[in-house]
Structure 1
């Protein structure tokens, strides 16, 4: 038969293994920063010319309910930016991105240099800024 102190030690050890406090709740991380990769684009664009911009959002983690958004602001020249064949974006409005790999199309409507910024954000407030500048070509 086991000595009483050994039985007490086993009993107290098993109780401490099954007891949980409120502070021991499982934490689930859902806020993951991300990076944005952009394929090279031309340095020059002519009036009426369309430039394809290929963008990939690279997550550092994977939370399936993360949503991504895009907004842009043009501060030099004029042009339109659109997602595939959809209607052109309005500057500084927020648009939902359905995929993490996509193409934007910028069409110049200017004979001078053009500059604009694209901001990509997620549903947790993380943001990345991408700047584009095109010189005018004839």
Structure 2
């Protein structure tokens, strides 16, 4: 199945429906099956000790899943996370962006399942892994 929205169209839509996260994330690549995104790490994303916090890592994984799902289904702002399981594996590298590599495992009429690996920019070692399920709103 081809993309319903391009990388730029998804980015524009994300700015429209979630202006509160504008400037936090960037979509580096988007295809029918994969997304590469980054958290543009700022001080507000850090925890004591200077590394990216767990909630910021969760946000990146969730937004990456949202982006790949929207890329496939189009402008459906009410696609929502129904489940997320995240494993935090190691401390992110301080002072660099966090990268999400997401892949869509299944896209049905009502649900999408996405797997996301997070790593610090410049490092291949995974800092977290998330499995997310999204509910897709029905066409009306």
Same fold (TM over 0.5): no
Structure with the higher fraction of residues in helix conformation: 2
What TM-score do you get using the length of structure 2 for normalisation? 0.32
Structure with the higher fraction of residues in strand conformation: 1
What TM-score do you get using the length of structure 1 for normalisation? 0.32
Larger radius of gyration: 1
